[in-house]
Amino acid sequence: MWDNFAYKDMDETVGPNVLAPRRILEALTPTESAHAIKWRAASWVRVAQIERVARAGAGATVRLSHPLNYGLKRQVQEFILTYRYNGRGRRTSVACAHVDGVTYRLPQDWETIVDTITPATVDA
C-alpha cells in the first residue's frame, strides 16, 4: 500500500538542519549535549541578526557583507528596507534595491548576510 506520509522523530541532539526561532529557543529545557548546545548558539545568533534588522525600520539602508550577483554583470550590495503584508495580514520585511530602473530583492534568509544597517534619516 502506498501513502505519501512519513514521520521521523527528531530532537536537537540528532542534528536538525533548521535554526529555531526565539519562541522555540525560549521553551527549551537545559541540555548537556554538545551538539544541541552548538545548534542553540547558532540559532540565537540568527535570532539576534533578524531582530537587529527588524529594529532598523523602513527606509534603512542595508549593506551586505558581500555583493549578490543578479544576471550577468549586475552586482548589488546596498538595499533599502521596506515592509509588505502577506496574505494573512502579517508584516514582513523586504529589502529592495532600485538600480537603473530595475528592482532587485534579497533572498529569503537575507538577514544572515547583513554587514551594516544605517537607519533612515528623518528630515524636519
DSSP code string of 82-99? EEEE-TTS-EEEEEEEEE
Select from 107, 98, 93 the least CA-distant residue to 74.
98
Question: What does the pLDDT read at residue 124?
Answer: 43
In this prediction, the residues of the chain whose per-residue pLDDT falls under 70 are 1, 15-16, 86, 89, 91-93, 122-124
Cell, residue 85: 503584508
Question: What does the pLDDT read at residue 26?
Answer: 94
Question: What does the pLDDT read at residue 15?
Answer: 66
Question: What does the pLDDT read at residue 23?
Answer: 93
Number of Cβ within a 10 Å radius of residue 82: 13
Question: What does the pLDDT read at residue 27?
Answer: 93
Please tell me the pTM assigned to this model.
Answer: 0.62
Sheet containing 74-85: order of strands: 102-105, 91-99, 74-85, 61-70, 114-118
Select from 120, 123, 124 the least CA-distant residue to 95.
120
